[in-house]
Amino acid sequence: MAILDRLPTVDRLSRIGIVVNGGCRNCGNVQELRNHIFFGYVFAREVWEIILGLCRVHREVRGGDEELGWAVSVLKGKSLIVCILKVVWCAYTCYIWEERNCR
């Protein structure tokens, strides 16, 4: 859902005609976009960097479309590391989305 941009973010809801407050639920500073929630927001970016470090993936987290592109390109195949990264990706997106919803 996150990769396809199908989550009910403020940006997406406004695109389909539902009027809601446009501020980010996490930081309150910018418009709530998918890329901001998962990679632009400082807390989410730090969590992702820690997760990648625990998985021994050493790369610079760029944010936004670059991270999604990386995930789509890397999460192909059925090797053990790919399966682990898929589970990690799903857990990360669920955790960040749950944190957003709690706020």
Distance, CA of 9 to CA of 102 (rounded, Å):
14
User: 50 pLDDT band (50/70/90 cuts)?
Assistant: very high
Bridge partners for 31 per DSSP: 23
Give the global pTM.
Answer: 0.75
Across the chain, mean pLDDT equals 82
Tell me which of 38 and 3 has the higher pLDDT. Answer: 38
- Domain limits, the chain: 10-102
